[in-house]
Each structure stands twice: as structure tokens, then as C-alpha cells.
Amino acid sequence: MSICLNYKPEVLVSTEGLTNEQWLEYRRLGIGGSDAAAVMGLSPFCTMRDLYYDKCGIQAVMEEEESNWVAKQVGHRLEDLVAEIFSVKTGLKVYPVRKMFKHPLFPFMLADVDFFIDFGDGRTGILECKTTNYNCQNKWANDSVPVNYEYQGRHYMAVMNLDEVYFACLYGNNENEFIIRHMERDLDMEEDLIAEEANFWKEYVQKKIEPPYIEKPDLVLESIRRHYGPAEKDSETVKLSPKHLQSVNQYLNWKEQRAEAEKEVKRLEEEMKKSYLDIVEELGPNCTGKISSGNKEYMISYNPMYRVSIDKKALERLKIQRPDIYDDYVSVSESRRFSVKIKEAA
């Protein structure tokens, strides 16, 4: 597939005045920029299967969890501020276009761009506005762009037929805690992206066939949990197909290898403790010490760590004696543990 560059994006709908639900319905008509990494199996948030469920109206890509709704709102509400800081720092004019666009040659490719950039010489670029917290700024280290944002930018350049995208990310509370990254169009990567998106849309969404899981195990397990819901402890035992025996044996093999590795880790930890027993004895109740040797100085610390916890029995008493406090402050989250036991068949 060779990319034709003689095209202009088409307007799918004006987003001015759309409700959030209406906006989501239009997004389900194709693949948006924030979906691109999931199509490539590289999203940190959802699998290709999750995206398929969303596009088919089976299930939303991501649930609105209490743990992340604030971060989402902060990102949305600060878009205008991030764009303003970018404009001040670069001297470039930025402006929004409240429309959702589609690729005229690949109409399943959609774009709802944050802002456009007027370079002042007749060229137009794309500005994507992001926010993150101080501890996550390392994801942008060494002039890099997080991979999910990179594919979002490449998707937008493809739809809009533009050659440059800037990412502006605010990670603090002043203009100096601000990251700017520039990315140019790469037609080889774009060709691969279009091919993957076309395959996802035509072979899975349009044919109503679930795509395979290709992502990291934790993300896949979370995807399965979201789709099927909480565990049903009183449900019947499922008679699984013998085809899973290979997977079971692989699991048992890895479990055995992990047990051996854990033994070695414990042995090494014991040896490490033996090595500093005399140092701890000399420190006594003190928490720090130092050793000078030539032009080096070794700073030793032996600091206390405190952990506040409520044991299970105390928690049960709290539930019985003060159910009002228990309900207000105790939350229950579900995780599931996989195990295999082998016994002789009856």
C-alpha cells in the first residue's frame, strides 16, 4: 500500500454543543487517535479486545473508576491552559476547531484534535495537550513521547494530512514544569498504522469477530475481569477442554522455577543480613553512620519503618460494633488467584 497524499480531511460532525453521550456515539463510528495504540497492542490502558467491545457497543473501553476520574477531569479542564502556555513559550498561534474529522480514503479513521497550530508561513500543525503528575514526567525523558501518545499523533497526522504534531504536557503548577515535544510525519510508520487499523476495523469490528489478546498478561486479566464482572463463588465447576493441558503444564513448570528462584533470593537475603550484623551492633539505637576510606565516604543508614494496619479480627469487631464507621471507611476490592491442584481421577 502506497500512501496517497492528495486529499483533504472530511468533516464527520461539528462537536459544538454535542453531549458527551452523542460524542461517544460518533467516536464508535470509527477509530480515533486515542484508540490507535490499542489497535497496535501498545496501549497501557486497554486491550484491542476492549476497543472492539467499545466499538460494537458491548462495553465501554474503560470504566469510570473512582481512582482516575479526577485525573481525567484535570486533563480535560486544563487543555486550554496547556495550549496557552505552549503559545506563550513558542510564540506560535494555536486555535481549536470544534469538529470531528474523518479520512476521505479510510473513512474508519477519525480525528478530534485538541488544537491546531498556525506556524505563520502557511503551514498548519497539530497540538496535543496533556497533563501528568510530577512522578510520571520520566515517561517523557530523553526527548521521548509515550508510545500511546506517539500513535495518537501519527493517527491525527494521517487523517488531517499534516506533517507536524507538537505535544505539550504540564506536570506541575508553573510554566517551568512543562514539556514540549515535536514529532514529524513518518510515512512508513503511517502505512503500517493504517494497515493495522484497516485490519482491525474490517476483520474484527465489521465482521463482529473478537480480536485475540496480544497484550501484557496483567492488562489482559483486567480486560477479562471488566468484561465478565465479579467472581461468582457459588457457581458450578466449569468442565474445561483438554486443549488447556499444555497451558496448565506450562504454568506448573514456571511455578516450580519461581519456587527455586525464591529459595535463592531468600538465601541471598540471609547472606546480606549476615554481612551487616556487626555494623548494626555498633550503631546501636542510632540510625546513621559513615565510613571514610581514601577519597570515598560510605553513608550507612538503618532507619525504622512503621506500618499502620488493622488485623482481621479487629476489622471483624469493627464491622459488628460500629457498622456505620466500617461502611464509611472500609472498601473491598477484588483480585483473583490462579492455582492448580492435581489429583487422581475417580
**Per-residue pLDDT tens over the stretch 258-289:** 999 999 999 999 999 999 999 999 999 999 99
| 69 pLDDT higher than 70 | no
Q: What pLDDT shows up at residue 343?
A: 75
| 63 pLDDT higher than 90 | no
Q: What pLDDT shows up at residue 68?
A: 62
pLDDT band at 66 (very low <50, low <70, confident <90, very high): very low
Percent of the chain with pLDDT over 70: 94
Q: What is d(CA 42, CA 51) in angstroms, rounded to the nearest whole number?
A: 12
Q: Strands (DSSP E) along 157-307, which ranges?
A: 164-170, 178-184, 288-293, 296-301
pLDDT band at 64 (very low <50, low <70, confident <90, very high): very low
Backbone conformation region of residue 91, classed left if phi is above 0, alpha if psi is from -120 to 50, else beta: left
Cell digits of residue 142: 530523553
pLDDT band at 1 (very low <50, low <70, confident <90, very high): low
Query: In this structure, what DSSP letter does residue 31 have?
Result: B
| 49 pLDDT higher than 60 | yes
Q: What pLDDT shows up at residue 65?
A: 47
> Which DSSP string corresponds to 88-112?
HHH--EEE---EEEE-SSSTTBEE-
**Per-residue pLDDT tens over the stretch 174-192:** 888 899 999 999 999 999 9
Domain regions of the chain by residue span: 10-228, 245-321
Q: What pLDDT shows up at residue 78?
A: 86
- Top-confidence range, 29-38, 64-73, 220-229: 29-38
Burial, 75: exposed, middle or buried (Cβ in 10 Å; 0-12, 13-18, 19+)? middle
| 166 pLDDT higher than 80 | yes
Q: What pLDDT shows up at residue 60?
A: 63
Q: What pLDDT shows up at residue 346?
A: 62
Q: What pLDDT shows up at residue 333?
A: 76
Cell digits of residue 147: 508510545
| Averaged pLDDT of the chain | 91
This prediction's pTM: 0.81
**10-228 domain in CATH 1.10.3720.10?**
no
User: Please, are residues 181 and 140 in contact by the beta-carbon 8 Å criterion?
Assistant: yes
Cell digits of residue 211: 480480536
Q: What is d(CA 206, CA 199) in angstroms, rounded to the nearest whole number?
A: 10
